Amino acid sequence: TWFTVLRGAATPDMLEPADFADRTLIRSHWDTVEQQMREYLAALRDEMLFDKPFTEGEDKDLFFEDEDKDLFLWQVLLQVINHGTDHRAQLLRLLHDLGIETGPQDFIFYVYDNG
C-alpha cells in the first residue's frame, strides 16, 4: 500500500486468498509488484528524499494516520523496508512451525552472495 500511494495510484482492495491458489499465481502477482517498486525507486533522486509525499497532490487525503503528512520520503522508504522485515519474520515462524527448514536471512548474507 505504501508504494501504491507513493506512486499516486489508487489504493488497492484487500487481496483475496482465493486469487492466489498456487505458487504460479503468487509469483505472477509478486513479479508485477516488484516491477512497480523497481520503477518507482529507479526514478528517485537524492533531493526527493526530503519531500513530504503525503502533503501534496490529489492523494493528500490518503494518509494512514494524521502523522503521516509529516513524514519525509526517506522515512517512508525505511518504514517499507522495516515492515517487510516484520512480515518475513512472521513467515519464517510459520514455516518453522510447519517443520520447514529455512536458510540464513541476514541481509549481510545477501550482500556476500550478490556483491
Please tell me the predicted confidence (pLDDT) of residue 53: 86
Domain extent listing, the chain: 2-114
Cell numbers describing residue 13: 482492495
Please tell me the predicted confidence (pLDDT) of residue 25: 96
pLDDT along the chain (115 residues), means of 10: 81 88 95 93 96 70 68 94 92 95 89 91
Please tell me the predicted confidence (pLDDT) of residue 60: 54
